[in-house]
Structure 1
Amino acid sequence: MQVHSKDSVYLTQEITAYVATAEDTILAKMAWYRLGNEVSDQQWRDILGVLKMRRGRLDLDYLGHWAAELNVSDLLVDALADAGTGE
């Protein structure tokens, strides 16, 4: 999966690192979970962990759009419910 958005982290004046957003991490893990026949408990726990840690600070429109593009919309719905985010 290609990263669709990124956050900048300034390490020094000369060095900027780019990291995947929480949303892209969730989407990538959902895609891997689906490709692995949805049997990896670790992937699912990671997804739920990110959802819980970023509660209220996720771009749900972005998640919904890319979940549909990646054919993991059902996983997103299930994960949001399992994480109890209320989002």
Structure 2
Amino acid sequence: MDTTAVLDIGLQAVILAGKLAAPILITALVVGFSVSLLQSITQIQEVTLSFVPKAIAVAAALLIAGHWMISETVSFTTQLFERIPSLLGG
């Protein structure tokens, strides 16, 4: 196994991690910004007002994108297992 193969696998893993984290992070960012904007407009500074909607939205994002996230992970793992013979030089 040469260094280019290791770098290629590492790059694919980092890209996959970014793709898997994006729906959750973007949802939390949008909801957090919206609640923060609402808090600044109404001057309500309640901690649970910023946490509860964000937790509910992230849970909804996981329910919606969960199947896609699992299928992407399984696909990546399957590709890695298929590459084992070529990585070992066979």
TM over 0.5: no
Query: Bigger radius of gyration, 1 or 2?
Result: 2
User: TM-score scaled by structure 2?
Assistant: 0.28
Task: Determine which structure has the larger helix proportion and give its number.
Answer: 2
